[in-house]
Amino acid sequence: MPLPVPRTGNPGLNERTFASQPRAALGERMTLQGAINKSFLLLVVLLAGALWPWSQYLSTGDASVVSSAVLIGAIGGLVLAVIISFKATMAPYLAVPYAALEGLAVGGISALLERRYPGIAIQAVGLTFGVLAVLLVAYRMRLIRATERFRAIVIGATGAIALVYILSMILGFFHVNVPVLNAATPLGIVVSLVIVGVAALNLVLDFDLIESGVAGGAPRYMEWYAAFGLLVTLVWLYMEILRLLSKVRRQ
């Protein structure tokens, strides 16, 4: 029997993937505590992966030291993310390597910006976990509800942002810059604030989907899939906060 679950804008936590899973036997079902534990583990792995390029660059000051780590992490992480998104049963085997690869990319990029703007990385980390905590408390207290209208707005906004980024990448191949995404202008900062807000609201959809998966009796391996999807949103939120802070520092 398929699981009835809500929609989400997160490509990692895909409602179709949850809906396609069979209802598990009572002792083999996904639990909220299991999803929390695995999410924490993936965060630890990501931070450990970020430590190497971070320490190497800040000790040597050589950007070439982290360029390969960022490239390997970004490409490898993307490949594993696609595989997990299309085949949830692979999540228990690939979620940890994905977190490690994302750590390489995030750590390298953070180190480059830290060298230019001292203190920016810890500020971005603090804001990311602060947003996570506030939204989790608000969700648990039912101050924020993932209604159909809320989902539609967040999913639509997420899709629009994705299209803008894809368009920016395509234009980049022709040496055409999209200043609104990177420029440290008032408009650029407002755009970054909006994107950060949309990324943060995706956390609410992630919480709702995980809760629905637990209530619907999703199989145990979906704990790994849920943890992977939540990490996808957190990494996106962190990177957008990092971009926003860098714009503010350039003012």
List pLDDT tens digits, range 102-136.
999 999 999 989 888 999 999 999 999 999 999 99
Please list the residues that pair with 2 across neighbouring strands: 22
Which tokens in the block code for residue 165? 């980024």
Distance CA 43, CA 98 (A): 11
Rounded Cα–Cα distance for residues 95 and 97 (Å): 6
**What is the distance between the alpha carbons of residues 233 and 214, in angstroms, rounded to a whole number?**
19
pTM to 2 decimal places:
0.87
Average pLDDT across the chain, whole number: 86
Q: Give the percent of the chain with pLDDT over 90.
A: 51
